[in-house]
Structure 1
Amino acid sequence: MVTPPWCLLDSQVDLLGKDYLCHTYRLPGPVTMVESSLVEYLPAMPARTAILYMHGYTDYFFQGDLGPFFAKLGLGFFALDLQGYGRSIRPNTPPNWCDSLSQYHMDIRMALAHMRSAGIEEVVILAHSTGGLIASSYLAKQYDMDAANEQIPYPAIRGLILNSPFLALPFSPKLQLHMTRLIWWVVSALPFHQLRADKISTYARTIHRRFRGEWDYRLDWKPAHGFPLSFHWLKQIIFSQRDLLKQRIPLPTLMCHSKRSTLRQHSVEAVRQGDGVLDVESMKGAAGMIFQNLTQAEIDGGFHDLYLSPEPIRERYLSTIERWLNQQILL
């Protein structure tokens, strides 16, 4: 068996409490060694099928009720804080920075190998926003690369659940092509430029308890202003989205999204009525081209992160996932 390129540094009780364990791994990054965190929910009964959760941009895993929800369905639950995010932020690299989105494929491989060593035989990936783009690009590569020749044991990936995936820039289908070309030209001309927000985002005001929301997450790991937006990062997003549109992924896929986009709205109340970050129609159009076995589910009133929506909407989102898992005979 080939020795994997990562190593386990430690495992300890996670900040979410005694029901969660955090495994810290060291793995090779584009410049130097980096660290990645895999959070594991400790259920009463072991499972052979598990969920692997992946967060979005300027994000980390803090939704502690997801573990018990999936455990009641008989599933294990693991969540990644990718290198440079949340639990994995380190002083040697800027937060949320990447040379290429493909570098996060190493985090996914590490997580899958760990899950297999823990007795997990089948995995369903649950990914939000940019995590959805990263997970999809990883899966697309598995169909045309020799990753299987690594001789590292992985569980079988049986399904993909997307929560408002970042498959297209936040513009309407009519503007998508023109704006993507313009932004590509700008970010290519100014690769080292960054944009810094001078005020708290309206979306952040809808979700954090300090403002008008119900969630009390760490603002140093998920700042209300966001981290500085790197033009290099944005170029890699466009590159990955373009590449993914050329792929066809046969894996059973559920994409959940809000009924409407509210990203052009200015008031907190208006943004709360839908997805305040991405354009839903462009997201749906891209998904229809990429995924060959796609089920789309519209969650009326859902936020960009559907799980952070008000409780009745959140319950509809979770019920949609449970029904789909049953339909796919994954429970």
Structure 2
Amino acid sequence: MTNETSPGVSEITARSTDPWRADVLGADYQQRTLPLGPDPDGEGEAVATLVRYVPKSAGATQAPAVLYVHGFTDYFFQQHLAEHFAARGHRFYALDLRKCGRSLREGQTAHFVTDLALYDNELNESLRIIRAETEGEVLVVAHSTGGLVVSLWLDRLNAARGTVAAGVTGLVLNSPWFDLQGPAYYRTVGTPIIKALGRFRSMFELPGAKISSYGDSLHQSVAGEWDYNLDWKPLEGFPVRFGWLRAIRNGHARLHQGLDVGVPSLILRSRITRFQRTYGPAVDVADAVLDVKQIQRWSGCLGDRTNIVPIDGARHDVFLSSAQPLAQAFSELDNWLDWLEIYQRKAAEAGASPEAGA
């Protein structure tokens, strides 16, 4: 198992030879299984699942491809996000990480890992596949816990061989999880307790962690506008286990020391936080999961250029907001992608790599 604080980049156990096949999202979506070998946490054979959007109208494009990574109690189902990127000319891919969504196998604990660096395996392999298929650069997009995971991955990738040299062109984070929300003592005296229990009682569940207010806000069966698989994304969330939470706190500590992801970043977040254990309309227009002040505080630790944009009325998943904040989020995304293209072109014309700052 790799160490979260190690500068090394873990290698894929076995490269995928599985073909693309039909995905649950319909005719324009395909999936491919990525074998990862024995699970280091002892839960059988691990796999990840790469999904791609292949609309019949897609043509040749010079825009970078997109690799999307989900958060905790999540998987890729946001077809409108894939369609938005495709309309801009981007080839779209999404990754269901090991033990998540499409990748969860019988006998495995959903989303459970004891080291976030394990995810480097499927992230590296996904990047390899996408670059081989598109022969171009890749924009990384991630939500919540996925935002922490990919930031740490890109920092290790940058230290090992250079993020830009590896083919990554930029980073878009949607409400990334950059610190532990809640009272301050969670982050002080609480963290050593989390780490001790995570080491010796890794499968113990954090009490009181199941809250349905956010899920109720999202899913159309309750109060929301979105439809998705409740086995893969339950309304109350999956249990939070101390071994996993220890890995998260190790990741937070590494982030707070300062990373260098090697490329410019856009961070989208809601303007306000509203924590509620039961659903109410206030949950529809705020981040009901994370503290947005923490996102604002720690985004500067990514390194390179960062642009942080609060979205009025956005939910925790900014791209699952209601119509008006969703439109604003897409507008901010498009503006930043237009800027990124110009920035990189000027850097290339000046004979410098983008990370050198043209």
- The TM-score, its normalising length taken from structure 2, stands at 0.84
Superposition RMSD in Å? 2.3
Letter in 1 for 2:153: Y
| 2:60 alignment counterpart | 46
Offset, 1:33 = 3.0
1:164-198 deviation per Cα after TM superposition (whole angstroms, max 9, x unaligned): 000111137xx3xx421222222233232213659
Residue in structure 1 matching 2:17, options 4, 8, 12: 8
Determine helix, strand or coil for the equivalent of 1:190. helix
**Number of residues of Structure 1 aligned to a counterpart in Structure 2:** 321
User: Among 180, 204, 212, which residue is 1:169 paired with?
Assistant: 180
Q: CA deviation at 1:261?
A: 0.6
Does the 8 Å CA contact 2:116/2:248 hold for their aligned counterparts? yes
Matched, 1:134 2:149: yes
Selected match of 1:119 from 112, 134, 139: 134
Summarize the Cα distance change of 1:87–1:259 in structure 2 as closer, same or farther, 3 Å threshold.
same
CA shift at 1:248, angstroms?
Answer: 3.1
TM-superposition CA deviations, 1:219-244 (whole Å, max 9, x none) = 10001121111011111101001012
Q: CA-to-partner distance for each residue in 1:63-103, whole Å, 9 max, x for gaps?
A: 11222211111111000000100000001421111121111
Q: Which moved more, 1:139-148 or 1:7-16?
A: 139-148
Q: Provide, for residues 99-120 of structure 1, a one-character-per-residue CA deviation record: whole Å limited to 9, x for no partner.
A: 2111111111111111012124
Matched, 1:252 2:272: no
Fraction of identical pairs, as percent: 33
Measured in 2, the distance between the counterparts of 1:10 and 1:53 equals 20
Separation of aligned partners in 1, 2:15 and 2:247: 24
Distance 1:36 1:265, change over 3 A: closer
Contact 2:211 2:278 in 1 (8 A): no
Match for residue 105 of structure 2?
90
- Give structure 2 stretches of 5+ with no counterpart: 1-10, 345-358
Say if 2:70 is the partner of 1:55.
Answer: yes
Within 5 A, what are the aligned runs for 1:257-276? 257-264=269-276, 266-276=278-288
Work out whether residues 212 and 278 of structure 2, in 8 Å CA contact, stay in contact via their aligned partners in 1.
no
Q: 1:227 aligns with which of 235, 238, 241?
A: 238
Instruction: Give the whole-Å Cα distance in 2 for the aligned partners of 1:15 and 1:164.
Output: 26
Residues 13-64 of structure 1, C-alpha deviation per residue, up to 9 Å, x if partnerless?
A: 1111111111111113324531110010114213351111010001000011
The aligned amino acid for 1:108 is: L
Q: Distance in 1 between matches of 2:114 and 2:301?
A: 27
- The CA deviation at 1:313 is 1.0
Letter paired with 1:11: W
**More strand per residue:** 1
SS in structure 1 at match of 2:75: coil
What is aligned with 2:251? 240
Higher mean Cα deviation, 29-38 or 275-284?
29-38
